[in-house]
Structures are given as structure tokens and as C-alpha cells.
Chains A and B, each alone.
Chain A
């Protein structure tokens, strides 16, 4: 059974703190993604990675960075958390190479609140 896990389900941080969100997948997928979900805005892509140590900006990368040192792990970093980064963060992974690979598998999400 495919699995994407995220380090925390709920997180409360203070403005200015450095925040780490971790994601691990056990499917040997090449691609990994970080999204945020906000009401009325759907899922917006923050960053993605198609290989170890590779990263590409998504649609809303400002205020975020990522790290992919191992194939199975993709970390999202908020360098200095701000209240407008309060959101649901979703990690996903997918295989590459065929049309079927477009299917992304999601983790359960991390609800981050910045106060």
C-alpha cells in the first residue's frame, strides 16, 4: 500500500520562527511536491523536486525553501514564519516516465498556524 507521511498533523508556531515540515514517501517515487491549500484558492504548488538535490519553484515559492537530500524525503522550510503562512500544507509524490505517473499520492497534510 502506497504511503506518504508528514511529520506533524497540527503545528502552532510564532511569527519569525523557522519551521520545518517533513515528508517521507515509501514508493521510490522520483517526484515530490509541496502544496498549500487555502479556502477558495485550491491547491497551490510551492516547490517540487524531480530528483535528489534538485528543486524547482512552483507558483508561490516566496517565503519558502526546500531540501531533498534523499530520494524518499522532501522538506519544506519556512525561514521566518509569518501569519499569512497559516495554512494546510500537503506533500505529494509521483513516479515519472508515463502518463500514468501524473497521478500524485498525497500525505494527510499539516495544519500550520502561525500566531
Chain B
């Protein structure tokens, strides 16, 4: 049962435009959400996160929006740059003492930014 879903396996965007990556989750116990970026042959790197007490978090060109009622989050990249071309994973965590702070990852969306 996939608790975190990224329904778009790929996305292609023109350089300078906005990229919007979407993520849906089913577990209402999730209270913290993260986005990771992964280049080929490298490990994922942390990009941005948001707590469930917020609905928006911004860091430079990256903004994450959380809609708890819809169990949906999105990552906006503005403006998109060719170096943003990578696979993006959303991840979620539920506060659960002793669980080791597990993350549940989505299946990823491959973003291609065209020059």
C-alpha cells in the first residue's frame, strides 16, 4: 500500500518557467514532509521541508505548499533552471516515539528543464 504517491513519473518544463511537482499521501498521522532531489549515480539530497502546522515554506526558488485537508503537497520551483533536472522524491514522517524517525518516500518525479 503506497502511502505517499507521486502520480506524475516525469515532467518537462522550459527554462525560466515554473515547475510544479505534486505529492499525495494517505496516512493522516504524517506530520512532517520533506522533498529530496536526486541526480543519477548520487544519493538523494535534502531540499526543503514543511511541518504540518504550516501551509507554506519558502527557500529561495523553492516553495513547498501543504494542504492537509486534501492530503496533498506540492513543490514549486521558480524560475526553473537546467541544473534542476533531477528526480524529486517527496517523503513523509509520523511522530512515533522509538521509530527511529522513519521516512516514507514517494516513487519520484523526473524533472527535465529544457534550455
In the A-B complex, the 3 residue pairs with the smallest Cβ-Cβ separation, listed nearest first, are A106-B43, A50-B100, A42-B107
The stretch of A14-22, A77-85, A96-104 that contacts the partner chain: A96-104
Closest B residue to A6 by beta carbon equals B43
A interface bracket (residues with beta carbon within 8 Å of B)? 20 to 34
Residues of B36-67 whose CB lies within 8 A of A: 36, 41-46, 49, 51
Whole-angstrom distance between the Cβ of B61 and the nearest chain A Cβ: 19
Assess whether A45 is in contact with B102, with CB atoms less than 8 Å apart. yes
For the complex, give the distance between the alpha carbons of A94 and B36 in Å.
14
Across the interface, B34 reaches (CB within 8 A) one of A30, A49, A103, A107, namely: A103
* Chain B residues within 8 Å of A43, by CB: 44, 89, 91, 105, 108
Across the interface, B108 reaches (CB within 8 A) one of A42, A50, A58, A92, namely: A42
Across the interface, A48 reaches (CB within 8 A) one of B49, B51, B93, B102, namely: B102
Residues of A63-113 whose CB lies within 8 A of B: 90, 92, 94, 96, 99, 101-109, 111
Chain B interface residue count, CB cutoff 8 Å, equals: 27
Whole-angstrom distance between the Cβ of B96 and the nearest chain A Cβ: 11
* Chain B residues within 8 Å of A108, by CB: 41-43
Closest A residue to B42 by beta carbon equals A108
**Per-residue interface assignment for chain B, residues 80 to 105, with 1 indicating a CB less than 8 Å from any chain A CB and 0 otherwise:** 00000000010101000011111111
For the complex, give the distance between the alpha carbons of A92 and B45 in Å.
10
